[in-house]
């Protein structure tokens, strides 16, 4: 057993406890041994540890943490692999994926993608105007046929804002998105995040 395997649980605890306590209130830290929450009939055992942060059905309850439900399976898998390889950096996701196998990552992407997408709390009217800065985004982000371009509809507004700023400031790496985000002002980012977060999902949720 490597020395890291011994200290890993404590490293995970230290990293996520402060942020998690602030959100969940009870300071409980998700672990591999978590039980599925009430009302979640079936999910791979390995998914239980994700639910405290991403919501029981992948529908996040927190503005700054993303929903996973209904997101493209191939996109979710790519992001999980990127967190694991360190291509995408996040202090909360890194210790979580470090302990998972490639088979686990596939199972997780498949599971959360199959959950019904979150409906926005205040959906936009069907005829609402698209902010000028968001027009260039739709071809990639509202396109079910593209594998690596995530849906943004109904995603958490604060999360979208933070990700756009991360691309713009070069903290999250992706050549296309860094170029797309570069010309955006803070006001553009706010308008775009607000717009997408209030769009209802493309695919009708399963009953």
Query: Are the CB atoms for 199 and 120 separated by under 8 Å?
Result: yes
| Token pair listed for 124 | 């936009």
Q: Does residue 141 bind ligand HEC (CB under 6 A)?
A: yes
Stretch that binds ligand HEC, among 34-42, 124-132, 144-152, 199-207 (CB under 6 A): 144-152
Contact characters 74-93, ligand HEC, x per CB under 6 A: --x-xxx---------x-xx
As a whole number of angstroms, the distance between CA 104 and CA 47 comes to 9
The contact mask relative to ligand HEC for 27-46 (x = CB under 6 A, - = no) is ---x----------------
Contact partners, residue 106, CB within 8 Å, separation at least 6: 77
Residue 199 interacts with ligand HEC (CB under 6 A)?
no
Residue 6, CB-side half-sphere exposure with 13 Å CA sphere: 3
* Rounded Cα–Cα distance for residues 35 and 14 (Å): 22
Which parts of this chain interact with ligand HEC (CB under 6 A)? 16, 20, 30, 49-50, 52-54, 65-66, 68, 76, 78-80, 90, 92-93, 96, 108, 136-137, 139-141, 148-150, 152, 155, 160, 162-164, 174, 176-177, 180, 192
């Amino acid at each position: 057993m490597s020395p890291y395997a011994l200290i890993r649980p404590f490293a995970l605890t230290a990293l996520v406890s402060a942020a998690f306590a602030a959100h969940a209130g009870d300071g409980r830290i998700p672990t591999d041994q978590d039980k599925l929450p009430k009302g979640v009939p079936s999910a791979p055992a390995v998914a239980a540890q994700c639910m405290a942060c991403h919501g029981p059905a992948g529908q996040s309850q927190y503005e700054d943490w993303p929903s996973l439900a209904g997101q493209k399976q191939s996109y979710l898998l790519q992001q999980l692999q990127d967190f694991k390889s360190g291509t995408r950096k996040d202090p909360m996701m890194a210790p979580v994926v470090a302990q998972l196998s490639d088979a686990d990552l596939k199972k997780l992407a498949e599971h959360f993608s199959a959950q019904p997408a979150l409906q926005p709390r205040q959906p936009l009217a069907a005829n609402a105007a698209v902010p000028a800065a968001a027009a260039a985004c739709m071809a990639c982000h509202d396109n079910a046929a593209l594998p690596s371009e995530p849906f943004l509809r109904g995603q958490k507004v604060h999360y979208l804002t933070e990700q756009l700023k991360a691309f713009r400031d070069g903290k999250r790496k992706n050549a296309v998105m860094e170029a797309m985000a570069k010309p955006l002002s803070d006001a553009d980012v706010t308008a775009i995040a607000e717009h997408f977060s209030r769009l209802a999902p493309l695919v009708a949720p399963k009953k």
